[in-house]
Amino acid sequence: MADPTQQSAGAQQAQTCRTKIVATLGPASSDYATIRDLALAGADVFRFNFSHGTHEDHAARHAIVRQVEAELGTPIGILADMQGPKLRVGRFAAGSVILQPGATFRFDLSDVPGDEHRVNLPHPEIISAVRPGSRLLMDDGKLAVIVEKVGPDWLETRVDIGGPLSDHKGVNVPDVALPIPALTEKDRKDLAFALDMGVDYVALSFVQRAEDVAQARALVGERAAVLAKLEKPQAVENLDAILELSDAVMVARGDLGVELPPESVPLVQKRIIRAARRLGKPVVVATQMLESMISAPTPTRAEASDVATAVFDGADAVMLSAESAAGKYPREAVRIMNRILWRVEEDAGWQAHMAAARLAPEDYVADAIASAAQQVAATLKAPAIVAYTHRGPTALRIARERPTCPILGITPTHTSARRMALVWGVRAFVSAPHKPTTTAEDVVEVALDVVARAGIGAQGDSVVIAAGVPFGVSGSTNLLRVAHID
């Protein structure tokens, strides 16, 4: 990887917005030219969706992303998204049936192809967990049944919302915590491959409880950061415990919108963002943000407003899924997303909102330093806050303050720099090994050099620097300096 202090003009364009962009790669965005264009258009992190594609596909994309990263000289994060358990009905003799509202319909463990009266449900965990009154949703919530009787290997239900049901359609059980691990055997193989490949974040699907995150953490160790996808009501109920064990979270609104009433999803989004910000952990808002751009060159006005709302809520990042992975206009989707973010962040009303929503510092030294850095930078109208951070926590705590100026995160490792690509307002730089920082004077010299190379500030400006003594030790943030650009 090239020295990120040598960033090109194109790479700087990709870092203009404080709110980051996660772009999913897929059939429409697997070649070098497209991935490079997406990075230049504003993509900070690339998502590899392990629900689709082969290991060879992901390895090829990984190599291209790292090639683009080296060319542009700016850290790019890679997020490996695990598929998680997929709950589905079995097959029908005719391929599909019509469920009539009010009719009785049975689910069982028999492999016999189904008909209008019954179908195989190859998930005994569902049968053992649900109770009379529980709801089962199928085909992304288009159909709904209510459980009336539970047997040892069957469920008798009444159709509440009818319609066509075909082979292998998905099943959601919103009312019950299912005794199903978040990682399947496929996920474990995918996870091992992704870690060996060198991804920066691992996204965990089907999280219901903190134990699901702990299980993934035991497998991942320190090789990647763990991002919990919050897509089930049970995860929202256990939000605080899940956040404590996660490095980042995602508001996965697609599945949340199936299992929760639609009117609840915006409020849940705000609650999750508030809770994640309180702990200083990155939060991504995902699903259907610019969905119309799968087939259209411009988004709807409602979609633009949806993205803007996520920015006003304080999200660290917004995500494109099929828009960039399989749509007709992946480049345009990232460019327009970037334009929306830029326009919102230039708005005085948004800036006032961020200031009003600023959180009180917590009662320990690192947070006091982060809060003070923001206040000093605002008072001096500093063009940047420089955060020396070994593994990222100093930059994370300063980002929690939502300062008006950019945060330049200087770290000794490419791993930490790439993880900071997901963090609000942070531009990451890997410190050059030939410039050791053993004294406060060294810290100031390297910080001013990075500020100059980033093209920020002018002669006479003050730069705020947060670091820790002893230098290079994680979790030691205890130093605040003000330096002047000569």
pLDDT band, residue 472 (cuts 50/70/90): low
What percent of the chain has pLDDT above 90?
84
Task: Kindly report the number of other CB atoms within 10 A of residue 437's CB atom.
Answer: 19
What is the per-residue pLDDT for 479? Answer: 86
Cα 31 from Cα 25, distance rounded (Å): 10
Question: Are the beta carbons of 287 and 319 closer than 8 angstroms?
Answer: yes
The separation between CA 323 and the C-alpha centre of its own chain, rounded to angstroms, equals 16
pLDDT band, residue 433 (cuts 50/70/90): low
> Letter for the amino acid at 14?
A
Cα 205 from Cα 214, distance rounded (Å): 13
CATH class of 358-484: alpha beta
Read off the pTM: 0.92
What is the per-residue pLDDT for 221? Answer: 96
CATH class of 96-172: mainly beta
pLDDT at 6 over 60: no
Q: Looking at per-residue confidence, does 14 or 162 come out higher?
A: 162
Please list the alpha-helical segments (H only) found in 253-387. 253-259, 265-279, 301-313, 322-325, 330-345, 348-356, 365-380
- Residue 392, both tokens: 């990222």
What is the per-residue pLDDT for 16? Answer: 72
- CATH code of domain 4-84+182-355: 3.20.20.60
Distances (CA, A) of 103 to 122, 148, 153, 160, 325: 22, 12, 20, 8, 40
Cα 293 from Cα 275, distance rounded (Å): 31
pLDDT at 224 over 50: yes
pLDDT at 158 over 70: yes
Active site residue ranges: 47, 88, 229, 287
What is the per-residue pLDDT for 460? Answer: 92
Cα 332 from Cα 301, distance rounded (Å): 15
Residue extents of the structural domains in the chain: 4-84+182-355, 96-172, 358-484
Average pLDDT estimate for 371-394: 92
Q: Would you call the peptide bond into 179 cis, given omega within 30 degrees of 0 as the criterion?
A: no
Minimum mean pLDDT among 327-331, 423-427, 475-479: which range? 475-479
pLDDT band, residue 5 (cuts 50/70/90): very low
pLDDT at 9 over 60: no
Average pLDDT estimate for 443-469: 90
pLDDT at 4 over 70: no
pLDDT at 168 over 80: yes
pLDDT single digits (tens) 183-201: 999 999 999 999 999 999 9
Chain mean pLDDT for the chain: 92
Average pLDDT estimate for 334-342: 96
| DSSP secondary structure of 74-141 | S--EEEEE------B---BTTSEEEEPTT-EEEEES--SPB-SSEEE---HHHHHH--TT-EEEETTT
What is the per-residue pLDDT for 478? Answer: 79
| DSSP secondary structure of 210-240 | HHHHHHHHHHHTTSSEEEEEE-SHHHHHTHH
pLDDT single digits (tens) 35-70: 999 999 999 999 999 999 999 999 999 999 999 999
Nearest Cα to 409, choosing from 77, 170, 131? 77
What is the per-residue pLDDT for 431? Answer: 85
pLDDT band, residue 360 (cuts 50/70/90): confident
What percent of the chain has pLDDT above 70?
94
Cα 374 from Cα 113, distance rounded (Å): 63
pLDDT band, residue 434 (cuts 50/70/90): low
What is the per-residue pLDDT for 215? Answer: 96
Question: Are the beta carbons of 299 and 290 closer than 8 angstroms?
Answer: yes
pLDDT single digits (tens) 262-296: 899 999 999 999 999 999 999 999 999 999 999 99
> Letter for the amino acid at 392?
G
